[in-house]
Copies of this chain bind each other. A is one copy, B any other.
Amino acid sequence: MPPTPPAPRASVQTLDQTTAPTPSAAGTRGLRDRVELVLTEFLERQAGVLETVSPDCSPMLDAIATLLSGGKRLRPAFCYWGYLGAGGLDEDDIVHAAAALELFQAAALMHDDVMDDSDTRRGQPATHRRFEALHAQAGWAGSGSRFGLAGAVLAGDLCLSWSDELFALAGFAPDAVQRGRRVFNTMRTQLMGGQYLDMLEQASCAQQGPAGAVERARRVVRFKSAKYSIEHPLLLGGSLAGADDALLADYSTFGLALGEAFQLRDDVLGVFGDPDVTGKPAGDDLREGKRTVLMAYAVASATPEQAAVVERRLGDPDLDAAGVEQLREVLVDTGALAGVEALISEQVDVACATLDAAALTEPARAALHELVVAATTRRS
């Protein structure tokens, strides 16, 4: 094997130093550090396994460590507070389970970026672009984009396998593991199904027309984002702690409502967000032609002229700043933006009311209230 060229790399040892400070809920700051530590130690262990194959595998580990270093750690926070809210003790086992969710998320992001052919993620080159750059820099033979794709598929497969491995390492009692696995399994299958549904919606929405488009887009949000971002992490924590059915039902209601609000905020930021803060180029969602709830609202009440603008501009890979502005105007003028903001508020209200009425520990209630704010008023 050739010596690995000095590609852009983040050593696993520096993971904990590269985490940017962001607003965090009560106690979550300490949790962030503990999650970093678990991930850093786990990646060191995996570096040893990959080393048995070849030292040339190190770019895989670098790609994973880099992506992991940029997370908001929202999913671990929900898992952790779901556990403590149900009376679980603040010990290392739940931090391991929570950290496993970050690996699952990393797998989803790497594969998602390959499927969408995205250029950037968390302000850095997407994983497949990273491997493409490595290929170009080394002057290797064959297609760089194919090398990039393969690198990202494999790195994502590693993260998917490792999320399960880390979960198993947490060390819960067999009955807790069994309850937790049920959630973990449902989360994985529903996310893949939700991603497929998203892709199908993008491909078939023109055929299907605007009728029902809002409902279809909301269904994609539920399965592609709300469940695995918030509902399942909470349920995982709750199940591991042995929460009763009533609390688990409240976690579901809270999680789905907040999860939808979280993704809707993401959609709004994808069009109206500040690229310096979001880490994604302005209008990327528009260039990719994403059929978001925001867009479905716009199409549902567009004038023929406005509909023509969407038809012409949405999904244009060469969309320029003026084109982005034109689509933004349609989203504002049709009332779509206001409609989505109203829906976010409505879902936040449902989440907060459920949280207020749920039978969980007080520190968890307070922390989850803070997480509601963090998830829905964020700018990145």
Residues of A bordering B, CB below 8 Å: 1-2, 46, 49-50, 52-54, 56-57, 60, 107, 111, 114-115, 117, 135, 138-142, 146-147, 149-151, 153-158, 160-162, 164-165, 168, 174, 181, 185-186, 188-190, 192-197, 199-208, 216, 219, 223, 289, 315
Contact = CB atoms under 8 A, between A and B. Distances in A.
Contact of A206 (B141, B162, B194): B141
Contacts of A164: 161, 164
Contact of A193 (B54, B193, B195, B197): B54
What 8 A-B pairs have minimum CB-CB distances, sorted nearest first? A53-B193, A140-B203, A115-B150, A161-B188, A49-B189, A57-B193, A158-B192, A165-B185
22 contacts: A1-B208, A1-B216, A2-B207, A49-B186, A53-B194, A53-B223, A54-B219, A57-B196, A60-B193, A115-B149, A138-B203, A140-B203, A141-B202, A141-B207, A142-B202, A142-B315, A150-B199, A154-B199, A157-B157, A157-B192, A165-B181, A165-B185
Nearest to A193: B53
Contact of A154 (B57, B146, B195, B206): B195
Nearest to A150: B115
**Number of copies of this kind of chain in the complex:** 2
A174 B207 CA distance: 52
B52 A115 contact: no
Contact of A189 (B147, B158, B192, B204): B158
B197 A56 contact: yes
A217 to B, nearest CB: 12
A16 to B, nearest CB: 23
B153 A111 contact: yes
